[in-house]
Amino acid sequence: MMVRAGDAQDQEGIPLFAPHEKVYPRSVRGPIRRLKWAVLILCLSLYYLGPWLRWDRGPAHPNQALLIDMPARRAYFFWIEIWPHEVYYLAGLLILGAIGLFLVTSLWGRVWCGYTCPQTVWTDLFLWAERLIEGDRMQRIRLDQQKLSAAKLARKAAKHAAWLVIAAATGGAWVMYFNDAPALVHDVFTLSASTTQYGFIALFTGTTYLLAGWAREQVCTYMCPWPRIQSAMIDEDTLAVTYRSWRGEPRGKHKKGDSWRGRGDCIDCRACIAVCPTGIDIRDGLQLECIGCGLCIDACNEIMDKVGRPQGLIAFDTDAKDAARRRGETPRHRFLQPRTLVYAAVLVLVATIMTVALARRVTLEVSVLADRAPLFVRLADGAIRDGYTLKIENKRVETRVFALTVRGLADALLHVAELDEPPVPAAQGTTLAVRGDGIGTFRVYLQAPRRDEPETPFTFVVRDAKSGETAQYDAIFRGPGQQGARR
278 vs 430, beta carbon nearer ligand SF4: 278
Footprint on this chain of ligand SF4 (rule: CB under 6 A): 241, 248, 266-272, 275-278, 280, 282-283, 290-296, 299-300, 303, 313-314
241 vs 434, beta carbon nearer ligand SF4: 241
Please, are residues 354 and 337 in contact by the beta-carbon 8 Å criterion?
no
| Secondary structure letter of residue 283 according to DSSP | G
- Angle subtended at Cα 405 by Cα 404 and Cα 410, rounded to the nearest 5 degrees: 160
Maximum pairwise Cα distance, the chain: 118
173 vs 267, beta carbon nearer ligand SF4: 267
Which residues partner with 457 through β-bridges? 476
Minimal distance in Å, beta carbon 244 to ligand SF4? 9
167 vs 296, beta carbon nearer ligand SF4: 296
Minimal distance in Å, beta carbon 217 to ligand SF4? 8
Minimal distance in Å, beta carbon 58 to ligand SF4? 49
211 vs 416, beta carbon nearer ligand SF4: 211
295 vs 409, beta carbon nearer ligand SF4: 295
147 vs 253, beta carbon nearer ligand SF4: 253
Minimal distance in Å, beta carbon 24 to ligand SF4? 13
Q: Which helix (H) or strand (E) holds 318?
A: none
Angle between the N-to-C axes of helices 181-189 and 195-208, in degrees from 0 to 180, rounded to the nearest 10: 90
Please, are residues 404 and 429 in contact by the beta-carbon 8 Å criterion?
yes
Minimal distance in Å, beta carbon 304 to ligand SF4? 7
C-beta pairs of 415-421 under 8 Å, 24+ apart in sequence: 415/444, 415/445, 415/446, 415/447, 416/442, 416/443, 416/444, 416/445, 417/442, 417/443, 417/444, 417/445, 418/442, 418/443
Minimal distance in Å, beta carbon 317 to ligand SF4? 12
Tally of CB atoms within 10 A around 284:
10
Minimal distance in Å, beta carbon 328 to ligand SF4? 21
CA distance 221 to 21: 13
Minimal distance in Å, beta carbon 98 to ligand SF4? 23
Minimal distance in Å, beta carbon 204 to ligand SF4? 26
Q: Which helix (H) or strand (E) holds 258?
A: none
At residue 92, what are phi and psi to the nearest 5 degrees? Answer: -60, -40
From edge to edge, which strands make up the β-sheet containing 80-82? 66-69, 74-77, 80-82
64 vs 120, beta carbon nearer ligand SF4: 120
Please, are residues 384 and 479 in contact by the beta-carbon 8 Å criterion?
yes
301 vs 394, beta carbon nearer ligand SF4: 301
Q: Collapsing DSSP states into helix, strand and coil, what is residue 82?
A: strand
